[in-house]
Structures are given as structure tokens and as C-alpha cells.
Structure 1
Amino acid sequence: MRTVERHADEAPKSVGAAWALLALNVLGSAGAKTVVTIPRSLIQMVTMGALVGAFTLALTANLRLRIRPSAFVFLLTLLLVPSLISSVDVGAGALFRCARLALFVGTLWLLSRWWDGSLRFVRYHIRMYFAVLVLVAAGLVVSPGTAMPEYYGGRLVGALWPLTPPQIGQYSAVVIGLSVLLLLGRRTTLTGAAVVIVPSFVLLAMTHTRTATLGMIIGLVLAIGSLFLTSAAARRFFGWTVLCASVGAVVFGSALRTWFLRGQSQENFSNLTGRAKVWDSLLSAPRTTGETVFGLGLGDKSWDGLPIDNSWLAVYNEQGLLGVAIVAAFLLALGGIALLRPPSLSRACAIFLISYCAISSYTEVGLGDASAYLLHLALAASLLAAPAPAEPLPTPELPRQRSDISRIRVPRWARR
């Protein structure tokens, strides 16, 4: 029997749609005031409906429940244990968040069938979040006053969908970073990359989001550094970037400092816009042994009515030390796998995403619950997955021609 090799599974269109619905689910339901007031209940209905739709599409595309082994998704599944233990006695809201996280993780398991180290999900990621940025830009055109309100210090917010400046900054930074890496890897044209990068950079600048900007810069440095020895384009880009950054720091140093401080006093900047006071209060609060180990249950990532704005402290507050250990484990697992992989564009994209999420975790929440940060890390896990082994496919055998020598007539002269 002859065999041929089966190539990697071609993902159906429903896989890309499921990934986009996951991104829609983690957009959130609380944010800035919009041009037309959207009831929060309606937004929550849309986002939760998107999660159910993502799970349904993923299940439809993967009816045989074929999954790929993934340390990241396995550890994320373990995170459900402290989440559920701590949320049982809290109430329906915490249990609902546990169910949401479970459905999110289940969808990732179903989609892991198509995690083969290719750039398929990178393109899904860029398209979805660039569509969100287009929506933000449309809101800026429709109502500039609503899009840059005074209560946010004139920073860009979502005027058509309630998005905060840190969210817009995060999406812009991720889209820019991945697009730059695709351009360096010659997986897109200069024109195509510019159409995405330039407007995204403008929106990032208008949000005045320092964490997203620093995360993008450091993430790109590490990602391009991983390609430095194998890519001439990466070396040229790195050299020109260093030169332009040096000239820009000299010429526009004062303007950059003003943008970075955002009009804040030195004291306000040093205590991280009041975050340090919330962190000190959270850490000094008395806790029982159970609350220290398992946390207080999934909530809205706040303390005494104020946002925690730190992923590690938010996980400690809601899922305890066990949750912190699991989050640290999947970050270290992704980072270790990325270091062991040979240099490639997929590895560079994964390094960018992992480093960006690690840096952002200091002033943003999201590593312990269904969020855009977990979706970024899931994308990194898909990029670090080993290619699926080729499977032999049976090919139909050709019908054998029957040769019966007895039926062949032999001439008389040959019989003699």
C-alpha cells in the first residue's frame, strides 16, 4: 500500500470567526461615556453572547474533540481550581465569572487543534484588533469631544464602544508590534504594513498610555533581537531604529518628557497615579489562611472601590498565592519554550507577546481571568506549538491487470 503525507489541517473560516468572538468577549463592558448611551446590560449580553458563539463555532469545527497538548492551556485550566474554591461562598457574580473563565478555556482547548506554529492566528489577531481601532477612529471623527473627554485628561477613549485609554493603547501596541514583525519577516508588504501601523501609532500617541508604549518598545527590542543573527532585515531595522531614536531623543526630548508625564506632578508620578496607596492597603489587610492561599473569589479587580491595576495583586486578592503560582508558572513555561525554540518569525512574535504581557502586568490586570492579555498569551502558545506530525493517508491501489499466459495465442512456427 502506498502512502502520502497529510499536510497541516486547513483551518475552516469558523476558526477565525471564533477567535474574533473571543476578542469581542474580552473588550469589556465598562469604560468611557459613548455618543449614544449603551446600557451595560446590553453590552454584557453582547460580550457573553460572543463567548458562547465562539465556543459553539469551535465545537462545530472540532466535533471529534481533537486537541493539541499545551502547557499554557493546561495551567490555565488549573487556575479554575482556586477560582472555584474561593468563589463558592462569595455569590452568584463570582460563580458566573468562573463559568465565563471555564468557557473561555474550553474554547482555547478546542481551537488548539490548529495551533501548529504558523502565523494563521497572528493574522486573525491583527484583523480583529485593527477593526476595533477603526471603530475608535470613527468615534473620534464623529464626536471629538466625546472621544477625548476632560475627565480622562484629554486622552483618547472609545466614543462608539466604551473603551478606556489603556485598552486602546494595548490594542494599538499589539497591532503595531505584530505588524512590524510581519514586515521584517516579509510576510506582508510595506504598503500593507503602513496602512495598519501608522494609524495605530497615532491612536497610541493620543491615548498617552505609558505602559503600552514601553511594553511595545521593550517587546520589539527583545523580539527583533531574537532575529538579529538570522535576519538581515532585522539588523537593518534595529540599526535605523537606534539612530532615529537617538536623534529624536535629542530633538524632541522636551516634548517626549511632557507626553510621558501627562501633566502630572512628580509626586503623583512617583506613586504611580495613586496606585501605590491601593496596593499598600490591599497587602496590609488581614486575611485568613484560606483567603491567603485561595483568595477572596473572582470579582471586578478592585479594592475598596478603587481599581487594583496590578495583575499580580489582583490574582493574589482573588485567587490567592496558589493563583499567583499558577500564573507565574504559565508565564515561565511560555518564556522557557520560547528560549528553546530555534530562531524564527513565529518565535519572535511569541517573545513580543510574552514580554509585552509581562511588562503590562505591573500596572494592568487580566492575567487571572478571561481577558485580552490571556488571549495574547494564547496566541503566543499557538506560535510556540510544534508543527503537527504528518499523517500517512492511504491511497487507492490501482487495479491489477490479470495476466493469464494460457490465453495468449502462440503462433504455430513458435511452437516448433
Structure 2
Amino acid sequence: MDGNLKRGGLPGGPGTAVTRPGAEPRPAGTPKAVGIVWALLGLNTLGSAGAKTIVPLPRSLIQMATMGALGAAFALALALNLQLRIRASAFVFLLTLLLVPSVISSANLEVGFGALFRCARLALFVGTLWLLSRWWDGSLTFVRHHIRMYFAALGTAAAGLAISPGAAMPEYYGGRLVGALWPLTPPQIGQYAAVITGLTVLLVLGRRTTRGSAAMVIVPSLVLLAMTHTRTATVGLLIGLVLAIGSLVLTSAAARRFFVWAVLVAAVAAVVFASALQAWFLRGQSKESFSNLTGRAKVWDALLAAPRTTAEQAFGVGLGDKSFGGLPIDNSWLAVYNEQGLIGVTLVAAIIIVLAGVALLRPPSLPRACAIFLISYVAISSYTEAGLGDASPYLLHLALAASLLAAPATAAPLARATPFTTPAVPQRRIPRWARR
């Protein structure tokens, strides 16, 4: 999926690898500022609509902060990569292709000038990923950036809960946890908590962090996840971890032990706390409301039944706010179909299939397990959450998976002598008179 950056060896050293003419040296390590760029991308995807905060924040101010973060991320990434060295990536290439139906459909201005603004935002987001791809080498560097970034976002939700519990768990959200300092919705908080919990568990199994450090992330994240009552995030966390740990079972004794204990604990909890788990899962809703996914199915049926022209079926109606008839769509595939048409759905499906295929072809490793967790989590969440067709945390999760699946850069040696090798001396033909 990823092309290799060419690296030259140290001149004159033993075993020196001679690179092809024009090959560029691989950057020594990842600059710390890359973590800042990743955090700015995460800030851009936090959104501007959500719960009522303790201190009222104008939506225009929040939008300025998020869009300013994206502009700063692109500028900083460009400053770090002035040579414009990038790695070939099928993921970012398909995202670039997704811009085509987005621009074509948005140019009709059917959903207003905001569609073109969202296209520019998506283009800037994809451009930043291209610039960061230089440092995608299959290491866990971006995993740590990801965990720190979303743990900080959860910190704002926890701080809001400590300052004003009433504002953090309002009645209009059914008593579920929201962001009282920054307008985060329960699904957002649940998503961030589930993702960093899963990644931290995998780091512990791979012995890339201590149990104490992991507990400081996992325990509060699970508490916040439980307070959000977010079913999609919970199911995505459990299934994603099962698939990720299952990919390590044959090569990791720690993964095998964890898998066995997790199955036993889950079985006991299912028997002892069956009624409590059922009550938490239903969130006080009736079975009818649960069966139609809290009203989502009605919106989906109306969207699919709406008449469309051939152009709208192919390219969509343009990037909007992921709603239909004033109601949220809450399904990535239908949102993409509505805004970017069948072409957009095909490209998004290709992104998931390519990443999953590459993950299956990679040998068992911790980065591969993290990528499997992220891909499976996003695939599960796409059924009840929108965001795969626009700059969103879900695309950022998939970008992290793409960086984990990138092959490490290697040198491209040529078959010619180095200063520390003895070239073969051609044998001279001895004249006949000299042999006598």
C-alpha cells in the first residue's frame, strides 16, 4: 500500500548501501512538532455543535478555533516538510479522489456556499495528511500522539463534570455525560474513550507501556464511557479488541492470557449483572424505540425514498451538515450517498477494503493489531455515526491505521563496489610466448 522512502547509508562506512541517483535520505526520526500537527487535526474534528457549556461559547468562535487549527496544522506540516517529500499511500490517494465528487456536487450550491467551504476544509485536511505521510513508517509514534490528544479532550469533559455536574449531565440528553467546557456530545466522548482505551490495552499487551501508566488512561476513560451510555462505542471497543487481540494470540503469550481472562470475566458479568447491563444498554428506552435505532430508521427510509436525479445519485447534493429534512442521518454510508453519491460510497468502501486487506496481509505484530482495532471500530461505528465522507475523527482513526500499516523505509542498494570492498580484477590473457 505504501511506497518506500529511499535512504542512503553513511558514506565510507562498512556495509555502506549505495542508493540510486536522486534518492533522498530518510529523515532521522519524527520531529516532536509532528505531534502538534496531529493534535491540531484532532482539534479541527471536535466540531462546533453539541451541549450547552458552562460559559456560553458562540458557535462562530468555536468554528474559528477549529478552522484556525486546521490552517495551523497545514502550515506547520508544510514548514516541517518544505521539500514536499511524501510516501505513496492508497488511503490518502483514495481520499484525494473523494474530493472529486465532493467538488462536483457542491459546485451546484444546492446546499449553499457552505458546501464549497467544507470542500476546502476537506482538501486542507487531505493535504496535511499527504505532508505527514513522510513520517509514516509503521511505528507506534502516531499511536501515542493519538492517545494523548483524545485523553486531553476527555480531560475537558471530566473537568466540566467536576465543576458543574448538572451542566455535564443535562436532562435534555437523558442524563448522559456531555462536554460542559467544550461542546462535546455523548457519542463523541464515548468514541474518544473507547478508542484510547483499546489502543492503550494493546500497548500494554505489547509491553510498550507500564501497567501503571496504562491504568491512568484506561480507568478514567472507561468511567467516562459508562457515563455517556454510548452503545456504539462500547460495542466497537469490545469487537475491535477481540479482533485485534485475536491477531496476536498465535505470537503473544500475554495476548493469550488476556484473551482467556477477558472471556471468563465477560461470562461471569453476563450472568451476574445481566439485568443491570440490559438496563444500561436500553437507556430507559422502549423496545420499539430501540428496534428503530432511536428514530434513525425513519430518517434513513425517508432519505432512500426521496426522488433524485441521475447526477444526484452519482455525485450527491454536496457536502452538508450530515442531516436530511432537518434530522441527523447518523449513518456514514447514507450520509456519503446523500452528499457524494454512489461514487463517494464506492470510494469510501474502497478505503475500508484496502486498509483491511493490507492489515490481513501483514505479519502479526503490535502495529498491525492496533490498525485492525481502528479499522474494525470505524467500520462498526459507521452504521450509527456519520463522518467517513468528510474531515472527522473517523478519518483520523483510519489515517492512524494507514500509518501503522506503512512498510518501514529501506535502502535501495545497487550492485556496485563500495570503498570497503575489493573489486574483482579481470584476468589478463597471457601471451603464448610468455607461457613457454
TM-score by length of 2: 0.89
**Aligned equivalent of 2:143:** 122
**Aligned equivalent of 2:301:** 280
**Aligned equivalent of 2:92:** 73
| Alpha-carbon distance in structure 2 between the residues aligned to 1:16 and 1:10 | 13
2:230 corresponds to 1:220: no
- Counterpart residue type for residue 41 of structure 1: S
- Counterpart residue type for residue 81 of structure 1: V
Q: Structure 1: 5+ residue runs without aligned partners? A: 399-416
In structure 1, the residue corresponding to 2:367 is in which secondary structure? helix
1:40 counterpart (56, 59, 82) = 59
Number of equivalent positions: 395
**Aligned equivalent of 1:206:** 227
1:2 counterpart (8, 12, 21) = 12
2:356 corresponds to 1:335: yes
**Percent identity among equivalent residues?**
77
1:61 counterpart (80, 90, 98) = 80
**Aligned equivalent of 1:252:** 273
Q: Which has the larger helix fraction?
A: 1
Shift of 1:389: 1.3
**Aligned equivalent of 2:127:** 106
| Alpha-carbon distance in structure 1 between the residues aligned to 2:26 and 2:227 | 45
**Aligned equivalent of 2:46:** 27
Q: Would the alpha carbon gap of residues 338 and 244 (structure 1) be closer, same or farther in structure 2, given more than 3 Å must change?
A: same
**Aligned equivalent of 2:115:** 94
2:249 corresponds to 1:239: no
| Alpha-carbon distance in structure 2 between the residues aligned to 1:204 and 1:105 | 30
- Counterpart residue type for residue 27 of structure 1: L
Partner deviation per Cα, 1:271-327 (whole Å, 9 max, x = no partner): 000000000000000000000000000000000000000000000000000000000
**Aligned equivalent of 2:410:** 389
Shift of 1:212: 0.2
Partner deviation per Cα, 1:59-106 (whole Å, 9 max, x = no partner): 000000000010000000000000000000113210000000000000
**Aligned equivalent of 2:371:** 350
Partner deviation per Cα, 1:113-137 (whole Å, 9 max, x = no partner): 0000000000000000001111110
| Alpha-carbon distance in structure 2 between the residues aligned to 1:98 and 1:8 | 32
**Aligned equivalent of 2:327:** 306
- Counterpart residue type for residue 330 of structure 2: D
| Alpha-carbon distance in structure 1 between the residues aligned to 2:387 and 2:308 | 23
Shift of 1:2: 2.1
| Alpha-carbon distance in structure 1 between the residues aligned to 2:35 and 2:338 | 34
**Aligned equivalent of 1:131:** 152
- Counterpart residue type for residue 2 of structure 1: G
Partner deviation per Cα, 1:129-175 (whole Å, 9 max, x = no partner): 00111111000000000000000000000000000000000000001
| Alpha-carbon distance in structure 1 between the residues aligned to 2:364 and 2:266 | 26
In structure 1, the residue corresponding to 2:209 is in which secondary structure? coil
Q: Structure 2: 5+ residue runs without aligned partners? A: 1-10, 18-24, 414-418, 421-436
| Alpha-carbon distance in structure 1 between the residues aligned to 2:32 and 2:263 | 40
- Counterpart residue type for residue 30 of structure 1: A
| Alpha-carbon distance in structure 2 between the residues aligned to 1:92 and 1:64 | 34
**Aligned equivalent of 1:84:** 103
The answer on whether the counterparts of 1:8 and 1:388 sit within 8 Å (CA) in structure 2 is no
**Aligned equivalent of 1:14:** 33
TM-score by length of 1: 0.93
Taking only aligned residues, the RMSD between alpha carbons, in angstroms, comes to 1.4
The answer on whether the counterparts of 1:218 and 1:355 sit within 8 Å (CA) in structure 2 is yes
